[in-house]
Homo-oligomer: A and B are copies of this chain.
């Protein structure tokens, strides 16, 4: 049987979530690098495997293909300490994971992509990206004034999902100096996952 294969771009926070969780849990896996800016997700081979044409996706040992970063990490981490046992904490974890994909990633990761990869002029970007990204960071700062991680007082998949692009937010033109709680939390999550500070 093939091991788990992760198809991802090492520059993408969504893809790194999957690699971090697999490595943290000690799951054997093969990483297949896919260059997103070069169109690597939309080759005939890739579209045949994964019709949405995005990464990450995984091919499981049984051959099934699973996509959506947060669904993949939920599957890989089932039964581990990264998913709280209590129903309400688990719901809180999912709440932040859905919020991440709807309210955080579409602002912070998208602005980073446009500035850092497409090298667009900040003046040409949709101003709502900056506004929504800062609103997302402010909501995170408020939540972290109550609990040290997003689903309570221990590291969970909510933190994995949220840290992915938050630690790269400066590449999207976001200034984390006004969010000290978020900065401290980034270090706690990096320590918990054993991934070290961000290095582009």
Q: For A142, give the chain B residue with the smallest CB separation.
A: B51
CB of A91 within 8 A of chain B?
Answer: yes
A residues 36-74 in Cβ contact with B at 8 Å: 51-52, 60, 64, 66-72, 74
Distance of A98 Cα from B69 Cα, bound (Å): 9
Among the 9-residue stretches A2-10, A99-107, A162-170, A192-200, the one with 4 or more Cβ atoms under 8 Å from chain B is A99-107
Q: Are A68 and B139 in contact (CB under 8 A)?
A: no
- Pair A71/B88 contact, Cβ less than 8 Å: no
**Complex interface bits, A134-166 against B, C-beta within 8 A gives 1, otherwise 0:** 000001001000000000000000000000000
A94 CB to nearest chain B CB (Å): 4
Nearest CB of B to A6, in Å: 14
A: contact size bracket: 20 to 34
A92 at the interface (CB under 8 A from B): yes
A95: Cβ under 8 A from any B Cβ: yes
CA distance A71 to B150 in the complex (A): 14
A69 to B94: give the CA distance in the assembly, Å.
10
Assess whether B75 is in contact with A98, with CB atoms less than 8 Å apart: no
Report whether B106 and A91 are in contact in the complex, using a CB–CB cutoff of 8 Å: no
Contact of A98 among B68, B91, B106 (CB under 8 A): B68
CB atoms of A66 and B51 under 8 A apart: no
**Identity of the chain B residue whose Cβ is nearest the Cβ of A92 in the assembled complex:** B66
- Residues on A close to B: CB < 8 A? 51-52, 60, 64, 66-72, 74-75, 78, 87-88, 90-92, 94-95, 97-99, 101-103, 105-106, 139, 142
> Which A-B residue pairs are the 9 nearest by beta carbons?
A75-B91, A71-B95, A71-B94, A68-B98, A68-B95, A101-B102, A70-B98, A71-B98, A74-B94
